Amino acid sequence: MSDGGGGFVAAGRVLAGVQPGETLKLAGSWSDHPRHGRRFAAEACERVTPATIPAIQAYLGSGLIRGIGPRLAAAIVGHFGADTLTVIDAEPDRLTEVINIGPQRRAQIVEAWLDQKAVAALMVTLQGFGVSPLLAAKIYQAFGSDSQEVVSTDPYRLIGRVRGVGFHIADRIALRSGVPERSPQRIKAAILDRLESAAARGGHCYLAMPALLAQTAELVEQDPELVRAMVDALTAERRVVVEAGEQPGRVVVYDKELHSREVALAGHLRRLMSATSGMPMRHYDEDASLHDDQRAAVTLALTCQVTVLTGGPGCGKSHTVRSIARAVRAMGGTVTLAAPTGKAAKRLSELTGLPAMTVHRLLMAPDDDGTTLFAEAPAKADLVVVDEASMLDLHLAVRLTAAIPDGGHLLLVGDTDQLPSIGPGNVLADVLKVPDIPRVRLTHVFRQAEGSGIVRAAHLIRSGHLPDLPGRGGFWFEEAGDPELVAERVVHLATDGIPRKQGVSPDQVQVLCPMRRGVTGTVEIGRLLQERRNPAREGVAEFWSGPEVFRVGDRVMPVRNNYDKGVFNGETATITAMDLPGRVAALRVDDGREVDYGFDELDDLTHAYAISVHRAQGSEYPFVVAPLVAESGGIMLRRRLLYTLVTRAKAWVVLVGHREALEQAVHQLGTARNTGLARRLNV
């Protein structure tokens, strides 16, 4: 952006997503940044139709209009000159005058042009409501031609349908549209938002009635009695469920979907536990290398329909699973090994020497050619083993248990000291609260793991003790003060320090962050890593999606499951190509599969240069670097998070930051999740 004097200045992130060649009218204020110089903070942005021929060509060739790339843009502008945009808008049939534009391409361009006009109009509407115009494309993607009507008449419908739109944004639009503050529509939306927020941010399946009333009343600044009346209305509409909690006199409120899934999961577990075992029982040769508790785990898995195997690092969980699988096969039975993520499944396969699949793949129908990685129906094996079971949320656990037939055995393997699932529920921990479900906790640390600094640090953290500092044999803590210096040090270690010293590629070093926001969060450190490892270069295609720019060569990760593409949260991939005219990015997933993402789907991806500890669950990396600072990560610095972070590394984990932040993480336990699964199973 030019400052009018021949120089350039940085503008605020309200401009993210602006394409080359666009002309903008900005409103905001100037300031001087001590490090970055003269800056303009843009508070509002209005797109102005490009007027010059070079600007029109750059605009059309940016990939903004589907079907037009740089070459075709040059041809169109070369033919129509300064009248190009007028022709596209008012006389689109004339586009066929240009070589390589036939009726089909013309229709595609016209459709894309109309979509862009609709998005532009929606941006104006949103700015009128004081809402970021960057949400326009996401809203249009969700609601299409109904977008203006939804925004203007029922903005609460945006909640849950449009990423980035919570109650506050929808409520701002509604109130400015004239919706009364005491409107039942508004209060109901706030109640549902508090339940959804509790599930999304805290993993809670329900909220206690007093907490729900207090949180909602504070959110809408209304009387709790009015909120209670709307809870009753939602109950009558069967959108929430109110029931007695575990403690006498306690009343709790569930979103209807989470309630039905929790009830269903309890039912499927009871069904499996009470069915007659279908496991073929024949003689097999026991693994003489097993420790006593490992041998007990084998016996339980073969004789009990639902079993849990838990324990910390170095205690032989994977070796035990391998022995169990071999015993089942030796008796003539079948086994399916699975894990919640692709990386966890790959790691399980490597550690056991046996094939493994994701739980999602286990639940999918056979491939088009009638085959799968395993049997035709892997969930119908005599034994289904799920590793990293602490990652199982309520939604996935219901689908898994529903797929296992009567007589099948289920073995859940995991470490309850790690972070619980990203999604709602605390399935593994809840199952362990049920005395009727057999379990074995492995506690013996094997000799080959005793010398690992990572294993030693992990066990000290788990028991609430500070690791040896600065560390040794795979664990290292480097103290640094200023958060910006911490971030710079993390980036240096990940891109240069560790790769040079260890003789490895930067791809083998993963940065994990406790928080998403802040100087040491995944967003800012990820941006710095992208600039260092994959900067903008002449001839390398890129496309802005909201505040993020995606380039060929970027490491990315899906933020939500896509069953149509067979891509799931937690997997990582590399962008191998970008088709600007077709508005499609080609990805190669780490397991070798090729998938395409349309530019309107890039909101489902995030960069994987720096990821949250939660998203690293089930994965293991040769080298891990992580910032630990009290200022930006205090609310997330908990023992489970630190323990999970440290155990993601195979060779070395390097923590950079404040000693007091490390001490806080070691000594501070997280809050328990509100779940009712154990209560339902113990009835």
Q: HSE on the CB side for 14, CA within 13 Å?
A: 22
Backbone phi, then psi, for 76, in 5-degree steps? -65, -50
HSE at residue 468, side-chain half, CA atoms within 13 A, is 12
Could you give the CA distance from residue 141 to residue 1 in angstroms, rounded to a whole number?
29
Ramachandran assignment for 58, one of left (phi > 0), alpha (psi -120 to 50 degrees), beta (any other): alpha
**CA gap 59, 49 in Å, rounded:** 9
Q: Which residue has the tokens 């009990």?
A: 304
For 391, 555, 559, 566, 587, the CA distances from 570, given in Å and listed in that order, are 11, 13, 7, 12, 15
Beta-strand relationship, 409-414 and 251-255? unpaired
Q: Which long-range contacts (CB under 8 A, 24 or more apart) does 36-43 make?
A: 36/10, 37/9, 37/10, 38/3, 38/7, 38/9, 39/9, 39/10, 39/11, 40/1, 40/3, 40/9, 40/10, 40/11, 40/12, 41/11, 41/12, 42/11, 42/12, 42/14, 42/15, 43/12, 43/14
Residue 487 parent element (H or E)? helix 483-492
Does 414 carry a binding-site annotation?
Answer: no
> Is 315 one of the annotated binding-site residues?
yes
Distance (Å) of CA 640 to CA 208, 627, 648, 667:
24, 16, 12, 10
Q: Which of 30, 21, 28 is nearest to 3 (CA)?
A: 30
* Residue 339 bridge partners (DSSP): 358
Q: Is the dihedral of CA 247, 253, 255, 256 positive or negative?
A: positive
Residue 183 labeled ligand binder: no
Q: Which amino acid is at 438?
A: P
Enclosing H/E stretch for 558:
strand 555-558
Q: Answer yes or no: is 421 a known binding residue.
A: no
317 is in an annotated binding site: yes
Q: How far apart are CA 673 and CA 206, in angstroms?
A: 9
Helix (H, G, I), strand (E, B) or coil at 610: strand
Locate 376 and state its tokens. Answer: 């035709």
Task: Report the distance separating Cα 592 and Cα 451, nearest Å.
Answer: 35
* Closest to 572 in 3D by CA, of 526, 519, 634, 536: 526
Listed in sequence order, the DSSP H helices in 342-482 are: 342-352, 359-363, 394-403, 427-431, 447-450, 453-462
**Which residue numbers belong to the known binding site?**
314-318
**Which residue numbers belong to the known binding site for ATP?**
314-318
